[in-house]
Structure 1
């Protein structure tokens, strides 16, 4: 499995941060990460491409219309979460996806700067 950076997700997250749609939370991502039923509900109301914008990684070996294609979530389908970006950064580093790790780190810095204003 080779996961690539999802540039559309990075741009989407940047826009959300600029718009102030963020949570500078310090909890554990497991508390905020959407559960499978929330993901399915989102997909019932939105296109898979919109779902993909909430994930920093793409598994190109999976079909475009499958949830399995998308990895490294960072938000709850409404806001970007600080702890989501931290989790994505840490997991990407552990798994050797340096481009995803760098993107998550950059987004994290942007979120923290915006939250400090």
Structure 2
């Protein structure tokens, strides 16, 4: 399985949660809160792909570097971590046997809910 935990993204998410940059939304909100393709492209144009990748807990080194296909499991809107995204990605990661990503998401959720 090529997708693995993106440690830089996990560090970014933890730091954002620690700073209180969290949207405490509910489970099904992510489909409405997720950045659009245009918002993603604008972010990449302004901040670069490396910064974009820090908003995705999954990374696939078998995909071409610097492509959207090389990252997965987004957790925020480029400003805040979204609780609904963490819930969604934890479930999806567990479903596809990405245990390291599912565990990281569970730990983030505990950090968010513990604050």
**What is the TM-score with the length of structure 2 in the denominator?**
0.95
Q: Secondary structure at the match of 1:75?
A: coil
Partner residue of 1:89?
Answer: 90
Summarize deviations over 1:43-94 as a string: whole Å, max 9, x none.
1101111000000000111122111100000000000000000011010011
Partner residue of 1:5?
Answer: 5
Q: Quote the offset at 1:42 in angstroms.
A: 0.5
The alignment of Structure 1 onto Structure 2 pairs a total of residues equal to 114
Does residue 1:102 correspond to 2:78, yes or no?
Answer: no
In structure 2, list runs of 5 or more residues that go unmatched: none
Runs of 4+ off more than 2 Å = none
Q: How far apart in 1 are the matches of 2:61 and 2:29?
A: 29
Q: Quote the offset at 1:28 in angstroms.
A: 2.3
Q: How far apart in 1 are the matches of 2:11 and 2:107?
A: 12
Q: How far apart in 1 are the matches of 2:33 and 2:99?
A: 24
Query: How do 1:11-90 residues align onto structure 2 when only pairs under 5 Å count?
Result: 11-26=11-26, 27-90=28-91
